Amino acid sequence: MAILEFGPFRLDTDGEILFLGAEPTALGKRAVALLRRLIEQAGTPVSKDVLIGAAWPGLAIEDSNLTVQIAALRRVLDAAAGGATWIETLPRRGYRYVGPSAAAGHLPAEANLQTPPAFALPDKPSIAVLPFQNLSGDPAQDYFADGMVEEIITALSRIRWLIVIARNSTYTYKGRAVDVKQVGRELGVRYVLEGSLRKAGDRIRITGQLVETHSGAHVWAERYDRALGDIFELQDEITLSVIGAIEPSLREAEIERAKRKRPENLDAYDLYLRALPHAYVPMPAEADKGIDLLKRSLALEPDYPAAHATTAWCYEIRYLRGGLHETDKKAALDHAHSAIAAGPDDAATLATAGFVIGLVAHDYKTAMEIIDRALTLTGASSVALWMGATVLAHAGEGTKAIDYAQRSLRLTPFGRERALSHIALAIAHLVSGDFAMAETAAANAAQTNARFSFAHVLHCAALCGLGRLDEAKAAAGRVLECEPDFTVATFVRSHTGRADIWNPIGEALRQVGLPK
């Protein structure tokens, strides 16, 4: 049965042959795909992006490739039926088909496009950013919505563990009502980001939602209301906010997915994901569980950057809160350097490696050079920001640490990373002598992650600085609940990079009765 059959020609179901009259004329798949899309939207301008996405799904190509295929189509149509003018060029808008229509003025039932073949899901997370809907009623706002999507796609592409579908492919869905499950099948993606834009007066509202394509479940949703000012600054600001929220949301969704997989089906990526929650506690017993999983991950994929970085982090936890053993220190630094070598363009990997080097070797200068390199790859990395804040706080750079920590908290309003951002903020305020702000930050950290002894240590020190000794003693009790072998001497010795910061904190801890 023909896919298209009207006027002087028909397209065969295999999509490779254009029949004109009695004699078949061969056309490549690209040209046939272009003709189908043009006929489907007969009489309507079709943008270059939509056509490129139809003929080259998932690929980024030059516009000249489209020009070549359109020219080939015109030659065939003209030679067989005098149809050189059936495809119009619309400057700055695209192309339009104005040739013969179906008998009833529309395509017959059998003329509907075949459902594209489903792509297999890749092993690692994949995402498609669909064109944002312009709900403002002002066609002039299309450029802003399109620019917003392009900025988001570019920023997501910098996240190395994430596969991002090219803009040309996603723009084929512009102006169409879509089913995210169908998009997932057609593009082979695990997640879809969709959104809308509405302008009213001098303000603009942008909404976004991240959906898991298999189940249709919402992973994340947010709304941004902003005053219209500099358009490009506004795009940058919203892009930063969206990426900062999406990255941890995706990571949490991927962790949950890995937990549901059967143990015999786990690959290196799944094992790494299962290890991450143990690092986020972060206490030695949990780090041991993480290391076991990460060793299995690295056995399958020895040069896996993220696995090396997280292994370094787990050994850092064991070193600082597990007895300061030199073997743990060496393992932490070895894996940190392996991570840098294997993942020089992976922001989260670089940030974690820099964090470990800063806290284990007390080489704060090198650590911040690595972390800031990560932030040049993606300034929206909440991981890089809280890790940078922690290193800066340990180095005594309180003002800069507060800035990094607050930026991280703005990007991650929820989630396990908040506790670690609050930890950095508490240290920075202690360094600056602001015990009230330090107490608030430490209390937030302790509330978010009650199993982390360091949060209670900082809370105890801040309360001592405020003279609230009874509350400080209660916080000291919570330190020992989390870490029964805690001693002030070991704690201070683990932070020898800046004795001027940690010795006074140690004195405060002794004051409330923690073991010397």
* pLDDT value of residue 86: 80
212-221 long-range contacts, Cβ below 8 Å, gap at least 24?
212/253, 213/180, 213/181, 213/183, 213/184, 213/185, 213/189, 214/181, 214/184, 214/190, 216/180, 216/181, 219/191, 219/249, 219/250, 219/253, 220/245, 220/246, 220/249
The 10s digit of each residue's pLDDT in 423-433 is 999 999 998 88
Sign of the torsion angle spanned by Cα atoms 257, 262, 267, 272:
positive
* pLDDT value of residue 106: 37
* pLDDT value of residue 10: 56
Domain map (residue ranges) of the chain: 4-111, 126-257, 261-368, 380-516
Architecture, CATH, for domain 380-516: Alpha Horseshoe (1.25)
* pLDDT value of residue 216: 86
The 10s digit of each residue's pLDDT in 140-181 is 778 888 888 988 998 888 888 888 988 877 888 887 778 888
According to CATH, the topology of domain 4-111 is Arc Repressor Mutant, subunit A (1.10.10)
According to CATH, the topology of domain 261-368 is 1.25.40
* pLDDT value of residue 100: 66
Integer Cα distance of 349 and 361 in angstroms: 18
Same topology between domain 4-111 and domain 261-368: no
Integer Cα distance of 192 and 126 in angstroms: 9
Integer Cα distance of 512 and 480 in angstroms: 12
* pLDDT value of residue 85: 78
Phi, psi for 85 (deg, rounded to 5): -100, 5
At 287, the amino acid letter reads A
Integer Cα distance of 381 and 155 in angstroms: 11
* pLDDT value of residue 105: 35
At 237, the amino acid letter reads E
Q: Tell me what percent of the residues of the chain surpass a pLDDT of 70.
A: 87
Integer Cα distance of 331 and 1 in angstroms: 65
* pLDDT value of residue 104: 32
| The residue to which tokens 């796609």 are assigned | 153
pLDDT < 50 regions, the chain = 1-7, 13-17, 19-24, 102-118
Integer Cα distance of 280 and 24 in angstroms: 64
The 10s digit of each residue's pLDDT in 31-51 is 777 887 887 777 778 888 888
Tokens of 168: 């040309």
According to CATH, the topology of domain 126-257 is Rossmann fold (3.40.50)
* pLDDT value of residue 426: 94
